Structure 1
Amino acid sequence: MKVLILYSSKTGTTEKCARILSECLGSESSVVNLANAGRVDLSKFDGVILGSYIRVSKAPRKVRNFVEKNLELLKKKRLGVFLCMGETPDRFEEFLSNNFSKDFLDSCYVKGYFGGEFNFKKMGFLTRKVVQKISEGRELPFVREENIEKFAKDFEMEG
């Protein structure tokens, strides 16, 4: 199975998770930033995994627009979605349903919460100040590699 992992990343965490996921998949996979996805022929892939960050409860508009524009083609693929966010996992389903259509989510074979990181060096000034206040100045690396490994295994499972 040929798998395309499309991602959108603001501070590098979603890209990092997409690359870890690619290594975990037994299938041939390509990792592509959604900003460059216009050059990708989706028909050449059997599976598509979409990864996004969440900022202020929202996935980036380009992610939501991509799903909306390509929904019918995506639904013909083995489909997965993962989120990277600085929120606890109990809000994962809420963020999925607030950012993606039921039609898209129902078509996803697997959905994953991969945790997140607060990387102050890659944040803009205002975002950095807000996050530093909330996190009491601590960078919080908590990418859930065990979740990424489980996602890869579940995605490739027959069914």
Structure 2
Amino acid sequence: MKTLIVYRSKHGCVEKCSKDLADRLSGEAVTVDLKKEKVPDLRRFDNIIIGGSIYAGRIEKEVTDFWLKNINELREKKIGLFVCGMRDEESGKTQLDNSFPEELLSKAVAKGYFGGEVTFSKMNFFERFIIKIVTKNDKDISNILSENIIKFAQAMNG
């Protein structure tokens, strides 16, 4: 079983979650950052997992571009979908549902919200300013939901 995990990670949280997920999957897993790496031929993979971060209520553009471009190939694969963000879990699930078309959501064998992180050193001035106002905090925060990653991997492995 060969799995491709494609993702977009602005500050590293989605990348961290993708690599953790890859380590938990059966068979070979390849991770690809859609902003930095070329996507290999999808025909080489049995499973495709798509993940991204939510900023201002929307998933990263590269993630949407990927599924739009590859929708026909994705119809033929076992797929999983996930998002990362700093909302509560229920809001995270809503953001997941708003980030992908119903066609993929209904086909996905695994869907997950993996939580998120705030790492001020990885943000630009404007991002730090906004996050400080919104969270009323100026310290790094990690809220990665490892149990959700484990459940997601189990569903993909099943």
TM range (shorter): over 0.9
Structure 2 distance, partners of 1:100, 1:39, is: 19
Provide the residue aligned with 1:18 in structure 2. Answer: 18
Q: Which amino acid aligns with 2:152?
A: F
Identical counterparts, % of pairs: 34
Paired residues for 1:106-121 under 5 Å: 106-121=106-121
> Residues 6 and 37 of structure 1 are in contact (CA less than 8 Å); yes or no, is this contact kept in structure 2?
no
Equivalent residue number for residue 88 of structure 1: 88
Counterpart CA distance in 1 for 2:15 and 2:94 is: 22
What pairs with 1:34-113 in structure 2 (closer than 5 Å)? 34-36=34-36, 38-113=38-113
The offset of 1:36, in angstroms, is 4.7
Which residue in 1 is equivalent to 2:128? 128
TM-score (norm. length: structure 2): 0.94
Aligned partner of 1:155 in structure 2 is 156
CA distance in 1, matches of 2:84, 2:126: 20
2:85–2:116: 8 Å Cα contact kept in structure 1? yes
Residue 5 of structure 1 and its aligned partner are, at CA, apart by: 0.7
CA distance in 1, matches of 2:151, 2:39: 30
User: Which stretches of structure 1, 4 residues or longer, exceed 6 Å deviation after superposition?
Assistant: none
Number of corresponding residues:
157
Query: Which amino acid is 2:149 matched to?
Result: I
Distance 1:37 1:80 in 2: 20
Give distance in 2, aligned partners of 1:17 and 1:93: 16
Task: Structure 2 unaligned segments of length 5 or more: list them.
Answer: none
Report SS of the residue matched to 1:40: coil
Give the CA deviation at 1:37.
5.3
Aligned 8 A contact 1:83 1:112 in 2 = yes
In 1, Cα distance between equivalents of 2:92 and 2:147: 16
List gaps (5 residues or longer) in structure 1.
Answer: none
